[in-house]
Amino acid sequence: MSNHPPLAGTIRKLLPSETSAFRDHLLRLDKDSRRMRFAHSVSDTFIEDYALRMNDMGSIVYAYAEDTEVRAAAELRKLGDRWGNEAEAAFSVEHAFQDHGLGTELMGRVIRSARNRGIHRLYMSCLAENAKMQAIARKHEADLKFEYGEVIGEILPETPNYFSILAEAVDDRVGYMMAVFDLQKRLVKAAA
């Protein structure tokens, strides 16, 4: 268990203009978390390229933002050019912020977004040794398949309804306001 104080930030979608905050978060992941996130060791250059492509890939990225920094992220990625029946999810939480329920909370948001886009099958892959990720996937009723040192989790989101769509829309409104506040704080910090 980390000794980080209770969480004071917010979970919201990242705006397309926030690729640098996403990049900085991924760069701050410790060596082991980077390997768990990408299933192999990756360099800073790899992460910089990866974060830059966030918008090109049309991914939805949820983030936990605290004090102008992104500390955790969850990506919902298309498996083709457009949203189809299937999509993929990936998660990253900085070491000091792990074990505070962020991974679980972020997975809930990603599943809801997948549901609202009519996705029938959501995949999550992680290394076989990644017990934490598997615990979270199980909490969300994923079917886990173990193969060749990897685990593929398969989640079948429910059909969208009025409430799931409304809940995401309300979150988006609040999230947008928080993003604007964070941007202002970042500008003030940079000018200081």
Ligand X SMILES: CC(C)(COP(=O)(O)OP(=O)(O)OC[C@H]1O[C@@H](n2cnc3c(N)ncnc32)[C@H](O)[C@@H]1OP(=O)(O)O)[C@@H](O)C(=O)NCCC(=O)NCCS
Of all helices (H) and strands (E), which one includes residue 104?
A: helix 102-116
Of 59 and 130, the one with the shorter C-beta distance to ligand X is: 130
The closest residue (CB) to ligand X is 103
What residues contact 129, with CB distance under 8 A and at least 6 apart?
none
**Three-state secondary structure call for residue 113:** helix
Please report how close the Cβ of residue 165 comes to ligand X at its closest, in angstroms. Answer: 25
Q: 21: which 2 tokens?
A: 């905050």
Alpha-carbon span 97 to 84, nearest angstrom: 33
Give yes or no for a contact between 76 and 89, defined as CB atoms under 8 angstroms apart: yes
Comparison of 14 and 102: residue with beta carbon closer to ligand X: 102
Give which of 125, 100, 98, 105 is closest to 32, Cα–Cα. Answer: 98
Binding site for ligand X (CB under 6 A): 33, 36-37, 90-93, 98-104, 126, 130-133, 135-136, 139
Least distance (Å) from ligand X to the CB of residue 58? Answer: 19
> Nearest 5 degrees, angle CA 19-CA 21-CA 25?
115
Least distance in Å: CB of 189 to ligand X? 25
Judged by beta carbon, residue 43 or residue 159, the one nearer ligand X is 43
Task: Write down the least CB distance from residue 160 to ligand X, Å.
Answer: 24
Query: At 35, is the secondary structure helix, strand, or coil?
Result: helix
If the CB atoms of residues 139 and 189 are measured against ligand X, the closer one turns out to be 139
Angle between helices 19-28 and 44-52 (to 10 degrees): 150
Is the CB of 116 or the CB of 130 nearer to ligand X? 130
User: Whole-number minimum distance, CB 171 to ligand X, in Å?
Assistant: 18
